[in-house]
A and B are shown apart, each in its own frame.
Chain A
Amino acid sequence: MRKSYLTIIKILLLSLILVLSIANPVLADADEARHEEKVVDGYTVKLTFVEGDVQMGHNEINIRINDPQGQPVTNAMVTVIAELYEESPTDTNSAGNGGMNMSSAQNSSSPSVKPIETVKAELEAGLNTGEYKGEVDLSQAGHWMITALFKLQQQEKSVEFEIVLQKSGPNWYVLSGFFVLIAAFIVGGILTKRKSVNAPVPEEAN
């Protein structure tokens, strides 16, 4: 019995080491936040995806606006509209495989192409002056046109960022870790299995 327990403990430890060795590159994958800057009428607008690269699903975004003098713009009403298109709504060649490609085109989406999906988010003041934070859900892969609208003293300005969002699959590192662990349990169990013994009947059963 003791030997069997030791074998199981060894298998568990090996599985743990395996999972941790697989998990390590996943943890190390954490990227720095992606960002892109645009200028409209002298105002610099910087869009940042807080949690790293843009991803399908929930995205926290941050927009920083500086006036032509480089001073942060406060008290602006900032709205973000994310529109999904089947194909790129701009003529700009959206290069790159996956991740985020923020083109330099401004106000260039073709009005004749209707978006498949539209998501709107009102941003609120962020932690630092001139920053505005919010959330957008990019539900599926495709060409997303993110339009940042900001209202300043009755003047409305807008900037567009084009994002090509490729369908990202599940995190195979994590899944493999689970499958390896489960397989290790089962294979270890089969290899170390002894003839099963009927468990003793509890005291009250006798």
Chain B
Amino acid sequence: MTVPVIQATRPEENPASGGNLLKNRLVAGIFKSRWFPGILQWPTALVFIFIMYVLLFGPTLAHSNFGTALTWILWWPLIPIIFVLVGRFWCAICPFGTLNDVVQKFAGHNRPIPIFLRKYGIWVIDGMFIMITWGDHVFGMVESPWGSGILMLMITTAVVGTAVLWERRSWCRYLCFLGGLSSNYSQTGMLALRGTPEKCSKCKVSACYKGNEEVPGCPMFEFPRTMDSNAQCNLCGYCVKTCPNDSITLKTRIVTKELWSVRKPQFAASFLAVVIMGIVFVQNFTMLEVWQSILGWLEKVLGTDSFFVTFTVTFLVALLIPIILLTMVSFIAKKANGASLVENFTRFGYAIIALDVAGHIAHNLFHLFAEGGTLLITGAAFFGKTVENVSPAILDDMTIQILQYGLIALGVAGSLYTAYRISKSNFPDKKWATLLPYGILILFLGVINIILFSLPMAMRM
């Protein structure tokens, strides 16, 4: 297995464009405080323990379980929005990351991460993401509090295992499926943390990577001096604390700007981007009311009523559609710009990410606003209270749909503009000819999303 690494012909400047937020005394104070990010990590960990308890020991039906509501109605819809607003900051306070740090402190061997994982970890993430989404449908993990709890226990076990064996946050960087998602989505984010090249070039201590006596080095194996992407930065602020040269900057930037300015686009990241598009299709499709009749049709065609078989076929088809489409379009673009199919796939796969994020948020917006009331209902029930006359819906269907269409429109615009900028910086003489097939693909994917969101959708709880 080879991992194509594309060198950009005309890399753009650091995508950060706004002022340095670390010049602000309050922001700098927060990042340099010894309480940061711990002060957010521990409450999050406590909430996580509570959720685990409710999932595993609480009501067995999803619609009665407060843990299910907190996880799948509140946290899961909010998480892609957090990625856009503050990049991977969630990863800095994620309870699994905190667990990793604690276990490592007492039992960690701090071995270097195996070369295989360093090279191909992103493919493991891609595979895990696909398997977990598939497993969710086949074993009903989201629909079952027990299933959700077991999923979290499985992750907990894996995190403890990797924390004992390997240094830093190996799990988060190389194995976490949510980390894969967040690394893709956070590239659309509004914040960019970077080193100042003039200062870093004279630095001899590399404290940002190594750490010092008081603060550890970058837990995500990043070296701010060479960072051109926020895909792996979790904004934990350790480098801000350790840098003796005050080199680290935290700037705002235009949403999606990083997608067209990343210097070394990775094939696996682009692959994950199109896979996510397929997964968004599956998630939407299987919640549509027509899904049951299609399932019946599939049972007849395949000659089996096994959901395992029928769903697996549906899942594979849904995943393959965007992959095949992007491959075909990259082949067409190859005729126009002369770059290889893999190179085009790798570069322009990043353009899909904006639409991925929009589709993901739009899908979960339905659950947040159509079922958000269950947070109150199940929360009250957990404490032995009954809430009368509370509707699960916070907004009506029409309003939610308008929001969904608006998000998809934004996603399409973001993807189109990203494709244009990638085309412009890499193929300045053939930019329009290169953009055309990708533009058509993005519009097509946008239309499919709109159609899916226009159909009635089933509840999660």
Contact = CB atoms under 8 A, between A and B. Distances in A.
To the question of whether A and B form a pair in one complex, the answer is yes
Interface of A: 1, 4, 8, 12, 55-58, 127, 137, 139-140, 169-171, 174-175, 178, 181-182, 185-190, 192-194, 196-202, 204-206
A185 B64 contact: no
B206 interface: yes
A186 B153 CA distance: 15
B146 interface: yes
B95 to A, nearest CB: 14
Contacts of B112: 199-200
Contact of B61 (A139, A190, A198): A139
Interface residues of B, number: 40
B286 interface: no
Contacts of B223: 201-202, 204-205
Contacts, number: 96
B371 interface: no
Contacts of B156: 178, 182
Given A56-B61, A57-B61, A205-B223, A196 B109 contact: yes
B123 interface: no
B153 A178 contact: yes
Interface of B: 56-57, 59-61, 63-64, 103, 106-112, 140, 143-144, 146, 150, 153-154, 156-157, 160-161, 164-165, 167-168, 206, 209-211, 217, 221, 223, 225-226, 305
Contact of B108 (A12, A189, A205): A189
| Interface pairs A-B: 4 shortest CB-CB | A189-B107, A189-B164, A57-B60, A196-B110
Contacts of A200: 112
Contacts of A181: 157
A194 B57 contact: no
Contact of A170 (B107, B146, B209): B146
Given A57-B144, A189-B103, A192-B109, A201 B210 contact: yes
Contacts of B157: 178, 181-182, 185
A186 B107 contact: yes
Contacts of B110: 196-197, 199
A144 to B, nearest CB: 14
Contacts of B56: 170, 175
B109 A204 contact: no
A197 B157 CA distance: 24
Nearest to A169: B57
A182 B160 contact: yes
A51 B272 CA distance: 37
Contacts of A205: 206, 209, 223, 225
Most A CB contacts (10 A, CB to CB) among B106, B140, B154, B164 go to B164
A203 B179 CA distance: 24
Given A12-B161, A185-B157, 13 more contacts: A56-B61, A137-B61, A178-B154, A178-B156, A182-B157, A186-B160, A186-B164, A192-B109, A194-B109, A196-B108, A198-B210, A199-B167, A202-B223
A189 B168 contact: no
B30 to A, nearest CB: 26
B161 A193 contact: no
B164 A185 contact: yes
Contacts of B144: 57-58
